Amino acid sequence: MSWLFVAGIVLFLIGLMASIALHEVGHLVPAKIFGVRVTQYMVGFGPTMWSRRKGETEYGIKWIPFGGYIRMIGMLPPRPSDDPAKLRNVSTGPWQGMIDTAREVSLEEIRPGDENRVFYRKPWWQKVIIMFSGPAMNFVLAFILFAVVLMGFGVEVTKTVIGEVNQCVVPANAQARECTPADQRTPAAIAGLKAGDRIVAFQNKPVTKWEDAQRAIRAHGAGPAVVRIERDGRQMDVDITLIAQQVRSLDDPNKIETAGFLGLKPEIAVERQGIGAVAVHMWDLTSRTAESIVRLPEKMVGVWEAAFSGEERDRNGPIGILGAGRIGGEIASAPAPVESKLSAFVTLLAGFNLAIGLFNLIPLLPLDGGHIAGGLWEGLKRAYARVLRRPAPGYVDIAKALPLTYAMAFVMIVMAGLLMYADLVNPVRLFG
C-alpha cells in the first residue's frame, strides 16, 4: 500500500467531513434565524475529540467521522394530555413507554423562557426549511463541485472525427496487439478512411454524435453501405462493405453481441463546458441516483452476494464510506496526470454529496425527509382547517412514528455494516 493510496483515503475523509459539516450548517443557520435554541453542533459521532462553547451552542468534532448532527430543543411535542398540575399516567406498553421516554429526553433541555424557542412550536414552513436546508447544502456543494470539473478541468468529449483507423479485425474479448499478415483487414482500412476524417452521414442519415454513427453501423449489419465524410473541407461519399463481428454492447459493456463492424476509433478531446452543461449533468445524475435509491433493497441483495458468494461487485451499486475512501486511494495512486486525478477526486466528492442529499430526503425518520414530511403534513392539515373554518389542529406528533424510526435505524445499521464488510472483502475497484 503506497503513501499516495493512504493520502487519497485521508483526503477523501477530510472532504467527506467537510461535506457533513456544511450539511449541518445548512440546518444550523435557519434554525438560529427562526429562533430555535441549538445546544450542540457536532461533526462525527462517539466521544468528543474537541469542542468549544460559543453562546448557547457547543461546537465540536467527534472521533467517528461517519456523520454529524445539531441538537435542537423540543424536537418532539409533549403529549396533549400532559398537565404539569396533575400526576402523569405511566404506560407499561413497550412502544408507548419508548415514546414517552423520547419525549422526556426531548423536553428536558427546555428552560424557563424557551417556550417559543422549541422546534415543535415553529410554523410548519419553518420546520420544512430547517430540515430541508441540510440536504439542500449537499445539492449546492454537488453542483459547485461538478461545475469545477466540467467548467474548470473540462471533460472528455467524443467527436465525430475519426481518431484512428483499425488496420485489422481483433475479437472483442482479445487484448490489443500488433496486426499480422494473417489478420483480416477492417472495412475502414479497405475503404481508405483516414484519421481526421469527420463522419457527416451514414446511409444518407445525418450524424451529429459518434454514438449515433456507432448504433447505425451496428444495426446495419454485414453488407454494403455508404459513409459520407468531410476531408480537408470537402464532403465525399465512401462505399464500404461492413462485416459481422463480435463487439461489446453499448448498453452493457459486459455483454458481447454480433453486429455490423467498420473498425474506427473516435477522436477524444477534453473540452470545458458551460453552466448549462453542468445543470444537464446534475439533473441526469440526480435522476439516476434517485432511481438507484428506489432500487436500494434490490441492489443490497447484490452486495450480499458479492460479500458472501464472491460474485463480482456491481460498479454502479451502493458503496459505503470505506469503499468510497478506497476509491479515493486508487485515484490518488493511479499512474495519471495530477489534473486528471484532481478531476476524478472532485467528481467522487460531488457524487457522494448528491447521494447524501437524496438519501436524506427519504420521508422516514430519523432522516431529514421524515421531519420534512411531518412539517408538510402539518401545513396541509392547517390549510384544510382554514378552508373549512375549523380550529387550527395541534402539532403533528412525529413521536408516534418512533417505532418505525427505530426499525429504520436498525435497517440502516445493518445496511451500513453489510456495506462495510463488502467494501473490505470484495471492494469496488476502479482498476483491475
Environment class of 414 (CB within 10 Å of its CB; exposed 0-12, middle 13-18, buried 19+): exposed
Q: Are 325 and 9 in contact (CB under 8 A)?
A: yes
Task: Return d(Cα 68, Cα 20) in angstroms, integer.
Answer: 6
CATH architecture assigned to 156-271: Roll (2.30)
In the predicted model, what is the mean pLDDT of the chain? 84
Reported as type and span, the H/E element at residue 135 is: helix 124-147
In sequence order, the 6+-apart residues with CB closer than 8 A to the CB of 106 are 73, 74, 75, 76
Q: What is the pLDDT of residue 411?
A: 85
User: Residue 90 — very low, low, confident or very high, per pLDDT cuts 50/70/90?
Assistant: very low
User: Residue 99 — very low, low, confident or very high, per pLDDT cuts 50/70/90?
Assistant: low
Sign of CA dihedral 89, 375, 354, 45: negative
Length of the chain equals: 432
E strands in 178-327: 198-202, 205-206, 223-231, 234-248, 256-261, 264-271
The one-letter code for the residue type at 334 is A
Task: Return d(Cα 419, Cα 321) in angstroms, integer.
Answer: 9
Give per-residue pLDDT as tens, 298-347.
888 888 888 888 777 877 778 888 888 888 888 888 888 888 889 989 99
Task: Return d(Cα 371, Cα 383) in angstroms, integer.
Answer: 18
Give per-residue pLDDT as tens, 154-197.
888 888 888 888 888 876 666 666 777 878 888 999 999 999 99
Q: What is the pLDDT of residue 135?
A: 95
Task: Return d(Cα 327, Cα 308) in angstroms, integer.
Answer: 21
Task: Return d(Cα 369, Cα 377) in angstroms, integer.
Answer: 12
User: Residue 104 — very low, low, confident or very high, per pLDDT cuts 50/70/90?
Assistant: low
Residue 24 annotated in active site: yes
Q: What is the pLDDT of residue 174?
A: 60
In sequence order, the 6+-apart residues with CB closer than 8 A to the CB of 340 are none
Q: What is the pLDDT of residue 76?
A: 75
CB atoms within 10 A of CB 278: 19
- Percentage of residues of the chain with pLDDT beyond 70: 90
pLDDT surpasses 70 at 105: no
CA distances from 225 to 170, 188, 191, 240, 242 (A): 21, 12, 11, 5, 7
Q: What is the pLDDT of residue 87?
A: 39
Burial track 247-259 (b if 16+ CB lie within 10 A, e otherwise): beeeeeeeeeeeb
DSSP assignment of 23-41: HHHHHHHHHHHTT--EEEE
Crossing angle of the two packed helices 338-360 and 275-294, in degrees rounded to 10: 50
In sequence order, the 6+-apart residues with CB closer than 8 A to the CB of 261 are 169, 186, 187, 217, 218, 242, 243, 244, 245, 247
User: Residue 51 — very low, low, confident or very high, per pLDDT cuts 50/70/90?
Assistant: very high
In sequence order, the 6+-apart residues with CB closer than 8 A to the CB of 214 are 250
Task: Return d(Cα 379, Cα 373) in angstroms, integer.
Answer: 10
Interval 139-143 mean pLDDT: 96
Q: Out of 24, 56, 108, 312, pick the active-site residue.
A: 24
Interval 379-386 mean pLDDT: 90
- Provide CATH 2.30.42.10 ranges for the chain: 156-271
